[in-house]
Amino acid sequence: QDVVNKIAAGEIIVAPMHALKELLENSIDAGSTSIEILVKDGGLKLLQITDNGHGIERDDLPILCERFTTSKLKNFEDLMSIGTYGFRGEALASISHIAHLRVTTKTANSSCAWQAHYQDGKLIPAKPGQSAEPKAAAGRLGTQITVEDLFYNIPNRRRAFRSPSEEYAKVLDVITRYAVHREGVAFSIKKHGETGAGFSVAAAATKIDRIKQAYGGTVAKEIMSFSTDDSRWGFRASGHATNANYSAKRTTLLLFINNRSVESSTVKKAIEQTYQLFLPKGGHPFVYLSLEVEPNRVDVNVHPTKREVHFLNEDEIVELVCANIRENLAKVDT
Ligand code: ADP
Ligand code: MG
């Protein structure tokens, strides 16, 4: 059974970035306004995330890493109106099957923090011979999750990662996307053993500040905001996109659907087409697009391994969003 669980987990968590995305979304779900990340060897050796969210009750710790343990879904209707990122209760379980996992957490009504270690979905002792029960520990309000030696028990996968810096870049990419999207939340990432943040943004930073910190001054300087909605298709869209003065070798698309970072080749293609008229020399834009659609119209993560997202009336919605961007592009003098 553990082998089956390990294989399933390895399909959900393919690289450090996938573990990080799940942990980051959990921290956001917990209402955190500060999220700090520490990484060693691109996340393969160490991936640690410390938040100041509402924490986890001590009594919930024993089953925390069992599959389908989630505090976010109470009934079928909830599934149709997911306001939080998680709803499958599979992330921590998966991680516990393919890495060493430690959780330190404190809620507001607990006088101390609690620390627990996990393996294969279950509590394990911190050291052989000790009790597996959570131990009282020092700690501030919030949760710290430490993931060490990712894929330690899948040697082939482990070997397939040639360059920690490539994995680090992908981890950083996940963070900068959420840093742009989530105003009011401070983010930082550091490489273990190095002073100075690899990236950081304060809670008070504005949207433009966030884009500037994460994607550079050139992008932030040539950016315009846009927004549109249509009740026929039940959507609202808003975002920031570069104008015709900006041109890059590749398109950068930060796409959020109902606050979840997703991939969509349909949206990407349509946006690239939109800019073709305005960037004749084959240049590409930076676009941050936050799309809100009625939850029952999206199939965000029907299957956890699926990164590509689809929603009802995709073509109509994408066309309207692109028309809106086009109007804004036409307005800007170049
Ligand atoms: P899901 O997010 O789908 O519910 P996860 O496996 O990601 O499943 O997390 C399981 C549960 O652990 C969550 O429902 C939540 O109650 C708790 N949890 C995980 N991370 C945090 C965190 N950073 N702060 C507070 N609670 C957390
Ligand atoms: Mg989750």
CATH number of the domain that residue 309 is part of = 3.30.230.10
What pLDDT band is residue 79 in, cutting at 50, 70 and 90? Answer: very low
Tell me which residue has its CA closest to atom 15 in ligand 1: 71
CB of 146 closer than 6 A to ligand 1?
A: no
154 and 63 in a common domain? yes
pLDDT of residue 67: 79
Q: Which segment of 5-19, 124-138, 143-157 scores lowest on mean pLDDT?
A: 5-19
CB of 107 closer than 6 A to ligand 1?
A: no
CB of 64 closer than 6 A to ligand 1?
A: yes
163 and 71 in a common domain? yes
CB of 71 closer than 6 A to ligand 1?
A: yes
Structure tokens at 56: 């986890």
| 307 belongs to a structural domain | yes
pLDDT of residue 81: 46
217: left (phi over 0), alpha (psi -120 to 50) or beta: alpha
Select from 201, 226, 253 the last residue of a domain. 201
Kindly give the interhelix angle for 164-181 and 16-29, rounded to the nearest 10 degrees.
20
263 and 162 in a common domain? no
pLDDT of residue 282: 86
Q: Which segment of 69-83, 87-101, 257-271, 312-326 scores lowest on mean pLDDT?
A: 69-83
**Distance from residue 70's CA to the centre of ligand 1 (Å):** 6
Taking residue 74's Cβ as centre, other Cβ atoms within 10 Å add up to 9
Is the pLDDT at 77 greater than 60? The verdict is: no
| 129 belongs to a structural domain | yes
Stretch 114-123: mean pLDDT: 97
223 and 195 in a common domain? no
pLDDT of residue 268: 96
Q: Please state, in angstroms and rounded to a whole number, the distance separating the CA atoms of residues 214 and 177.
A: 8
In sequence order, the β-bridge partners of residue 142 are 106
Select from 167, 201, 235 the last residue of a domain. 201
Select from 171, 201, 231 the last residue of a domain. 201
Which tens digit of pLDDT belongs to each residue from 186-242?
Answer: 999 999 988 876 899 999 999 999 999 999 999 999 999 999 999 999 999 999 999
232 and 291 in a common domain? yes
pLDDT of residue 188: 97
CB of 251 closer than 6 A to ligand 1?
A: no
Is the pLDDT at 8 greater than 50? The verdict is: yes
**Distance from residue 322's CA to the centre of ligand 2 (Å):** 32
Q: Which residues of 174-211 are buried (b: 16+ CB within 10 A; e: fewer)?
A: bbbbbbbbbeebbbbbbbeeeeeebebbeeebebeebb
**Distance from residue 71's CA to the centre of ligand 1 (Å):** 7
Tell me which residue has its CA closest to atom 20 in ligand 1: 26
How many separate domains does the chain show? 2
Stretch 136-143: mean pLDDT: 96
| 210 belongs to a structural domain | no
What pLDDT band is residue 83 in, cutting at 50, 70 and 90? Answer: very low
| 211 belongs to a structural domain | no
Q: Which segment of 4-8, 29-33, 107-111, 164-168 scores lowest on mean pLDDT?
A: 4-8
| 208 belongs to a structural domain | no
Is the pLDDT at 72 greater than 80? The verdict is: no
Amino acid at the residue 104: T
What's the ipTM? 0.99
Is the pLDDT at 334 greater than 60? The verdict is: no
**Cα torsion 77, 78, 80, 81: sign:** positive
CB of 94 closer than 6 A to ligand 1?
A: no
Tell me which residue has its CA closest to atom 18 in ligand 1: 26
127 and 101 in a common domain? yes
Is the pLDDT at 269 greater than 80? The verdict is: yes
Q: Please state, in angstroms and rounded to a whole number, the distance separating the CA atoms of residues 334 and 275.
A: 14
Place of tokens 């499958």: 88
132 and 6 in a common domain? yes
What pLDDT band is residue 316 in, cutting at 50, 70 and 90? Answer: very high
Who surrounds ion ligand 2 at CB < 5 A?
26, 86, 91
225 and 192 in a common domain? no
CB of 240 closer than 6 A to ligand 1?
A: no
73 and 49 in a common domain? yes
229 and 133 in a common domain? no
Which tens digit of pLDDT belongs to each residue from 10-39?
Answer: 888 999 999 999 999 999 999 999 999 999
- Residues 187 and 197: beta-carbon distance below 8 Å: no
| 165 belongs to a structural domain | yes
320 and 175 in a common domain? no
Stretch 283-301: mean pLDDT: 85
- Residues 122 and 97: beta-carbon distance below 8 Å: no
Range of the domain at 311: 217-331
Looking up residue 80, the CATH number of its domain turns out to be: 3.30.565.10
Is the pLDDT at 173 greater than 90? The verdict is: yes
Structure tokens at 107: 């809620």
301 and 175 in a common domain? no
Structure tokens at 293: 């659609």
| 39 belongs to a structural domain | yes
Question: What's the chain's average pLDDT?
Answer: 90
| Residues in the chain, total | 334
| 88 belongs to a structural domain | yes
